Amino acid sequence: MSATPLSPEKIHEALADLPGWTYQRNALEKVFEFATFREALGFMVRGGFDAESLNHHPEWTNIYNLVIVRLNTHSADHQVTAKDVELAHRLQKVSWVG
């Protein structure tokens, strides 16, 4: 996958298939809210395997039942690339909270 930054138009097209995701501060962002800390941690572990398979690692934070995800590509000057969109899709697929 290319580390070429996507145009704002391509980013907004991608967001149409990513419910709850936004484009802010040069990144794709989403807050996942789980029922418990254990569920949030499980999501991070499962999502971590997908991130590792893409060799693309998210900036994410866990606060009890919340996982705040921020995706951009460091090698593309911290802009959004196709790798970010792919990881967002994979995280969306493994999430059971929307």
pLDDT at 2: 59
In a domain, 77, yes or no: yes
Burial letters 26-56, b for 16+ CB under 10 A, else e: ebbbbebebeeeebbeebbeebeebbeeeeb
Look up the CATH number of the domain holding residue 20.
3.30.1360.20
d(CA 87, CA 65): 21
Q: What is the tens place of the pLDDT at every residue in 9-47?
A: 999 999 999 999 999 999 999 999 999 999 999 999 999
In a domain, 45, yes or no: yes
The residue count for the chain: 98
pLDDT at 1: 57
d(CA 81, CA 63): 27
In a domain, 87, yes or no: yes
- Domain with 30, as residue range(s), is 8-94
Domain count, the chain: 1
